């Protein structure tokens, strides 16, 4: 059952992405030849108007095929004959729809919480004897105060509690340089120690939680959206710089497996739904950002050629651009094979 749920969610993410391209192409007057959900052999197809709608066997992809997208076409409604700004909107629309889906998932996730977490410090661990408070919190002793709002820790932006959780789960430093917003101004506090002497806990402070109201839900969801984008960006940076271990690279099989685990290993149906919303948001934001990377074959690579056309005031020859995208697609295909190998190896070894 978990695998089925995972495939449905993965299919939803891909469909939403391709629908972004599709609807903007239609609105721009570009001829859409086929809108496909899935890859491989066709299971069902139906032609409506000028567009063939199809469902294919493998639910690990999809596409929106437009007239003249990769070749020269005399059709006035071909992709390449559309105005530059329309082409750029069509190319960006897929990732944009991924971001919209991610934001909607996060709103659903926040609505399931009892209250909305913030980055504001409510209090510190300690003991109270009458009016006297003795703090065992090192973060208080080293400079943090009630009402401080986390902005950065060791140069890492803090957008939401997701960033705080990620930071404390991965840091191995004993002291930290912290930027907080205090009384409306940014203040840098150096050599902060996050540790409670009495309990031995690393996180020695409590955060402010706000009541669920429309504004706080949307604001909290937006902050979590930025956090997820930030985490994806850091992961991509680690991949480019070689700091990400090759065993950590994951592909479609790994994504489906992760979603399946979130659906089946939760303690309750409520927890399962919460985890699925979280995973869907993280994956769709990841896919949106990845597709905007300036890599040939991706939407971002095609946007680069649009910017080149904007500067040169004339397009690159379709055959030349096609060769570049072909090389990019071959490299991406190789990366997918490598990632899938990693996924299968992890499943076998546990």
Residue pair 300/291 in contact (Cβ under 8 Å)? The answer is yes
Active site residue 18: yes
Model confidence, pTM: 0.85
* pLDDT tens sequence for the chain (350 residues): 677 888 888 888 999 999 999 999 999 999 999 999 888 899 999 999 999 999 988 777 788 999 988 777 888 999 999 999 999 999 999 999 999 999 999 999 999 999 999 999 998 887 555 455 556 788 888 999 999 999 999 999 999 999 998 888 888 888 999 999 999 999 999 999 987 766 677 788 899 999 999 999 999 999 999 999 988 888 777 776 766 565 555 666 666 666 666 667 667 888 889 989 998 999 999 999 999 999 898 999 999 999 999 999 898 888 888 888 888 888 877 877 776 766 676 566 65
Strands (E) located in the chain: 32-48, 51-66, 116-124, 126-129, 132-135, 149-153, 156-157, 176-182, 185-192, 205-210
Let me know if 24 is exposed, middle or buried by CB neighbors in 10 A (0-12, 13-18, 19+): buried
The rounded distance, in Å, linking the Cα atoms of 318 and 78 is 13
Q: How far does the chain reach from its first CA to its final CA, in angstroms?
A: 20
The rounded distance, in Å, linking the Cα atoms of 236 and 229 is 11
List phi, psi (to 5°) of 266: -75, 155
Let me know if 25 is exposed, middle or buried by CB neighbors in 10 A (0-12, 13-18, 19+): buried
The angle formed by the CA atoms of residues 187, 193 and 194, to the nearest 5 degrees, is: 100
Residue pair 182/148 in contact (Cβ under 8 Å)? The answer is yes
Q: Catalytic one among 18, 67, 223, 321?
A: 18
Which tokens in the block code for residue 174? 């004993």
Nearest to 146 by CA among 98, 207, 198: 207
The rounded distance, in Å, linking the Cα atoms of 316 and 305 is 7
Residue pair 220/281 in contact (Cβ under 8 Å)? The answer is no
**What is the residue extent of each domain of the chain?**
2-111+276-349, 116-210
Residue 18: how many CB atoms within 10 A of its CB? 20
CATH 2.30.42.10 fits 116-210, yes or no: yes
Q: In the chain, helix, strand, coil percent, each to 5? A: 55, 25, 25
């Amino acid at each position: 059952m978990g695998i089925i749920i995972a495939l449905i969610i993965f299919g939803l993410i891909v469909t939403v992405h391709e629908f972004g391209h599709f609807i903007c192409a239609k609105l721009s007057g570009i001829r859409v030849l086929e809108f496909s959900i899935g890859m491989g052999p066709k299971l069902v197809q139906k032609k409506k108007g000028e567009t063939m709608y199809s469902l294919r066997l493998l639910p690990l992809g999809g596409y929106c095929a437009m007239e003249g997208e990769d070749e020269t076409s005399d059709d006035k409604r071909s992709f390449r004959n559309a105005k530059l700004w329309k082409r750029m909107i069509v190319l960006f629309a897929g990732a944009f729809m991924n971001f919209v889906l991610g934001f909607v998932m996060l709103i659903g996730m926040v609505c399931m919480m009892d209250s909305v977490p913030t980055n504001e410090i409510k209090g510190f661990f300690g003991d109270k004897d009458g009016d006297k408070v003795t703090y065992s919190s090192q973060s208080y002793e080293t400079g943090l105060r009630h009402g401080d709002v986390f902005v950065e820790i060791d140069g890492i932006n803090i957008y939401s509690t997701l960033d705080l959780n990620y930071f404390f789960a991965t840091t191995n430093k004993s002291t930290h340089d912290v930027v907080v917003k205090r009384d409306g101004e940014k203040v840098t506090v150096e050599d902060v120690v996050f540790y409670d002497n009495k309990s031995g806990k690393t996180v020695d402070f409590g955060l402010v939680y706000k009541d669920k109201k429309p504004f706080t839900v949307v604001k909290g969801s937006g902050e979590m959206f930025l956090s997820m984008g930030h985490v994806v960006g850091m992961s991509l940076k680690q991949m480019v710089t070689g700091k990400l271990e090759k065993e950590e690279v994951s592909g479609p099989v790994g994504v489906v497996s992760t979603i399946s685990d979130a659906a089946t290993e939760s303690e309750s149906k409520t927890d399962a739904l919460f985890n699925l919303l979280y995973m869907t948001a993280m994956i769709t934001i990841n896919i949106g950002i990845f597709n905007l990377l300036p890599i040939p074959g991706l939407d971002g690579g095609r946007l680069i050629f649009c910017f080149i056309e904007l500067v040169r005031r004339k397009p690159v020859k379709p055959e030349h651009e096609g060769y570049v995208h072909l090389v990019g697609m071959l490299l991406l295909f190789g990366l997918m094979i490598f990632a899938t190998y990693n996924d299968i190896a992890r499943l076998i070894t546990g």
